[in-house]
Amino acid sequence: MFWKLALTVPLFLAALPSTTNYELNSYGFGSGGTANSSTGNYSLEGITGEISGQTSATSTYTQKPGFNETQQANVPKITLTNPSNYYDKLHFLIDQQNNPTDALYAIQVKVNDATCDFTTGTIDYIQSDDTLGSSLVTADYQTYAAWGGSSGQNMIGLSSSTNYCIRAKATQGQFTESAYGPSSSAATVGQQISFCLWSGGSCGSSSNATAFSGLVAGSISSATNNLNLTLTTNADNGGNVYVYSTGKLQSATHVGGTITSVTGTSPVDLTSLSSGYGAQVSTASGLTIQSPYNGSGSNVGQLSTIINTLLAASSPIASGSATIQLQAKAANTTPAATDYADIVTVIAAANF
């Protein structure tokens, strides 16, 4: 005879703690561990008794289980701008998101990607010297202060007319590193220089010539209209304005009809000469007047066949301008004529 006994064993599943807003997917009880095991090359911090658990995530936040995750550095933000028409650099500023002062930040860069997609293509990193490189090493993790603090820093050595995207991540202590934060983008512009020279009127709507209304022997005369110029360039090292001429006011109809320019590297006072000719920069903005053109009154600089620096700037010029005055003095022996003339050439160059 056979007996068949059926037993029913209830199975109890413990519900995970939850509310209407949050749910704890796993939990456990630690049984000890190590606070900081290390060698010369590695460090380990951990506990035993925890299971891996399940990551909770929304479109905005990610939460991972375990003790080490509670020590995670805050995800930083970063902004990238081009504040001054830069062609070879861009300015970035890190938002620490309340990370402590000993937090370190690494910055990832994507070049010429309109969508700022960091999952494909070539990835670069800002190196400790602010240039771009293809590798990320320990030295490239720097503090907020080293990355310029509240003033930010310039990423340098970039290509002109190019779009750049950046994003940052943070570490704090030996065992944490955040995910990369949101990206920011900006573009460099092309190399630029704009130069205009005119006499009377305004740029583009006036003459390129000026004249002396009449030279009286023994008297100093100024040209009727001054020469005016404007210069704008985004060159890192600014730019220069140069001047040269035939070196004299010459009459084509009278042999010996010549008023020769003054010479020298310092301004020359025409009152001390029987005859002379030269230029003086009477006003300048955004540009520094160079000797010998920085005189006043009747002190002028040479107009020679040698190219001389008239004005200079050592940094980008937003809107430089200057006024040049020509002065001449005829001697008692200078032949009278109506065709005394000189060709004065003024040129500008940017120092990219």
Do residues 157 and 151 touch, judged by C-beta distance below 8 A?
no
pLDDT category at 236 given cuts 50, 70, 90 is very high
First to last CA, the chain: 106
Among 144, 162, 187, residue at a domain's last position: 187
315 belongs to a structural domain: yes
Q: Let me know how long the chain is.
A: 352
Span 93-107, average pLDDT: 96
Residues 58 and 204 in one domain: no
Residues 133 and 199 in one domain: no
Residue 63 has pLDDT above 90, yes or no: no
Number of domains in the chain: 3
The three-point CA angle 93-95-97 to 5° equals: 170
Do residues 202 and 196 touch, judged by C-beta distance below 8 A?
no
Task: Say what the pLDDT of residue 208 is.
Answer: 86
For every residue of 188-223, DSSP letters joined together read -----EEEEEEESS-TTSSBS----S---TTSEEE-
In the block, tokens 């970035």 appear at 92
Among 187, 216, 232, residue at a domain's last position: 187
Span 231-235, average pLDDT: 98
Residues 321 and 217 in one domain: yes
21 belongs to a structural domain: no
20 belongs to a structural domain: no
Nearest to 341 by CA among 196, 198, 207, 215: 215
Q: Rounded to whole angstroms, what are the CA distances from 125 to 104, 165, 307? A: 14, 11, 45
Residues 205 and 108 in one domain: no
Mean pLDDT of the residues in the chain: 88
Among 70, 97, 115, residue at a domain's last position: 70
Task: Say what the pLDDT of residue 39 is.
Answer: 72
171 belongs to a structural domain: yes
Nearest to 153 by CA among 59, 227, 87, 90: 90
Residues 182 and 224 in one domain: no
| Pairwise CA distance, residues 30 & 80, whole Å | 44
pLDDT category at 42 given cuts 50, 70, 90 is low
173 contacts: CB under 8 Å, gap ≥ 6: 71, 102
Torsions phi, psi of 307, nearest 5? -75, 125
CATH of the domain at 96: 2.60.40.10
Residues 236 and 213 in one domain: yes
Residues 287 and 240 in one domain: yes
Task: Say what the pLDDT of residue 162 is.
Answer: 98
340 belongs to a structural domain: yes
154 belongs to a structural domain: yes
Residues 182 and 280 in one domain: no
Note the pLDDT tens digit of each residue in 118-165: 999 999 999 999 999 999 999 999 999 999 999 999 999 999 999 999
| Pairwise CA distance, residues 263 & 275, whole Å | 12
| Pairwise CA distance, residues 180 & 108, whole Å | 8
Residues 340 and 222 in one domain: yes
> What percent of the chain has a predicted confidence (pLDDT) above 70?
80
Q: What is the pTM of this model?
A: 0.76
7 belongs to a structural domain: no
Residue 27 neighbours by CB distance under 10 Å: 11
pLDDT category at 214 given cuts 50, 70, 90 is confident
Task: Say what the pLDDT of residue 198 is.
Answer: 95
Residues 203 and 327 in one domain: yes
For residue 102, what are the domain limits?
77-187
| Pairwise CA distance, residues 46 & 34, whole Å | 6
Q: Kindly state the DSSP code that residue 227 receives in the 8-state scheme.
A: E
Note the pLDDT tens digit of each residue in 279-325: 999 999 999 999 999 999 999 999 999 999 999 999 999 999 999 99
262 belongs to a structural domain: yes
Residue 91 has pLDDT above 50, yes or no: yes
Span 339-350, average pLDDT: 96
Give me 100's structure tokens. 């402590």
Task: Say what the pLDDT of residue 17 is.
Answer: 66
Residues 206 and 345 in one domain: yes
Residues 197 and 346 in one domain: yes
Residue 195 has pLDDT above 70, yes or no: yes
